[in-house]
Amino acid sequence: MLDINLLRNDPEKVRENIRKKFQEEKLPMVDEVIAMDRAYRDAQQQADGLRNKRKTLSKQIGGLLAQGKKKEAEAVKAEVAAAAEALSELEVKEEELKAEIRKRMLVIPNIIDDSVPIGKDDSENVEIERFGEPAVPEWEIPYHVDIMEKLHGIELDPARETSGNGFYYLTGDIARLHSAILSYARDFMIDRGFTYVIPPFMIHGNVVSGVMSFAEMENMMYKIEGEDLYLIGTSEHSMIGKFINTILNEDELPKTLTSYSPCFRKEVGAHGIEERGVYRIHQFEKQEMIVICKPEDSPMWFDKLWQNTVDFFRTLDIPVRTLECCSGDLADLKVKSLDVEAWSPRQKKYFEVGSCSNLGDAQARRLQIRVKDSKGNKYLAHTLNNTCVAPPRMLIAFLENNLREDGSVAIPEPLRMYMGGKSEIRA
């Protein structure tokens, strides 16, 4: 959510940012907010005048009564009552305008960074760098579900019976591999100085609206019927929510946290749920990175976060590349975002396995996460998040890049301690 002062002082900057994101339908909201804000401030000014008038008149009543001027006192009382009635109407108007302004401000997109490439959708994202040499073996690599089934590692049909499409049972060594990757990711991030956290997996609605846009919420979140609770789509939601309505001392920053959680997503939209596969599903697990820092430090932390993901995949010898997300592919709260994609030797192309985002002060403004400096001045923090690893999607990249011609899967050295010393998986 933007600072209202930006719309008051530089509305054209807001309009130009909306155009860069190809959301022209939101342009009228700028003028609507400006008009409502003007009306809101006028109502505030009138209300303040009535409060002062009521206070002054109330003092007069006591003096008139003390002088025995009962008739005059009654007349002043009538004035006070009229002022109170008018004030009550203005306070209702203030609340209505405040709500309407916030409703629109939650939809107007955050100002993107100057470095973000301009483009309509993810087809115009820009490749930045490749890490590792992508290879394609001479023999054919099966579909990832076929690999898992041959290793007795996945059961989709029973999951359809219990839960529907978009769910799965992982079994045996594949289930163990899934857990091993998460355990390794946890320790990898702890070794990089991050504090490990297991957060709540359900959050209140005000936290949801504080960490994401309404459109994202509608397409992603599962609501618990009859309660003000939502299942998290990623641990970022509850991790940022942890700091709602807090004032952090500047010397406490940065907060560098790595969190594990299951993730639950409707996955409503163009992509849809796969009938047979684990790339786009309703339930998965993830190791996340969260940073809360001073505004001037967020660009530096953005680069550190995505580099952590690249380094993690490279320790497992999986080739990856980074893509800068263009303006039209950025969610409304994001200032800048970069995707990490892993190499698929079967498809002979890269696919997304993680996303790093700098949200500026957007989440902090919605959730009132503030910082106090040594002089007592307060300002909004910046928040960032990034995926370290999210199996089972990461399993696709892992299995394809470590599959041998005989159908066995090699286990790289960093994972063996989490796999009971195993160096390979065989049927």
Task: Report the pLDDT value the prediction gives residue 217, as an integer from 0 to 100.
Answer: 77
Task: Report the pLDDT value the prediction gives residue 275, as an integer from 0 to 100.
Answer: 66
Task: Report the pLDDT value the prediction gives residue 97, as an integer from 0 to 100.
Answer: 95
Please compute the mean of the pLDDT values over residues 69-74 and round it to a whole number.
80
Q: According to CATH, where is 1.10.287.40 located in the chain?
A: 4-105
pLDDT tens-digit profile of 82-127? 888 888 888 899 999 999 999 999 999 999 999 999 999 999 999 9
Q: Which fold has domain 122-425?
A: BirA Bifunctional Protein; domain 2 (3.30.930)
pLDDT tens-digit profile of 381-413? 999 999 999 988 899 999 999 999 999 999 999
Angle ∠(415,175,274) on CA atoms, nearest 5: 115
Query: 178-182, 264-268, 395-399, 402-406: which range is least confident on average?
Result: 264-268
Q: What is the pTM of this model?
A: 0.89
> Burial level of 144, CB count in 10 A (0-12/13-18/19+)?
buried
Task: Report the pLDDT value the prediction gives residue 178, as an integer from 0 to 100.
Answer: 97
Rounded CA-CA distance 377/379 in Å is 7
The band of 270, judged by pLDDT with boundaries at 50, 70 and 90, is: low
Q: Which CATH architecture has domain 4-105?
A: Orthogonal Bundle (1.10)
Do 11 and 35 touch, CB atoms closer than 8 A? no
Ramachandran region of residue 416, left (φ > 0), alpha (ψ -120 to 50) or beta? Answer: alpha
Write down the mean pLDDT value for the chain.
Answer: 93
Rounded CA-CA distance 210/241 in Å is 8
Q: According to CATH, where is 3.30.930.10 located in the chain?
A: 122-425
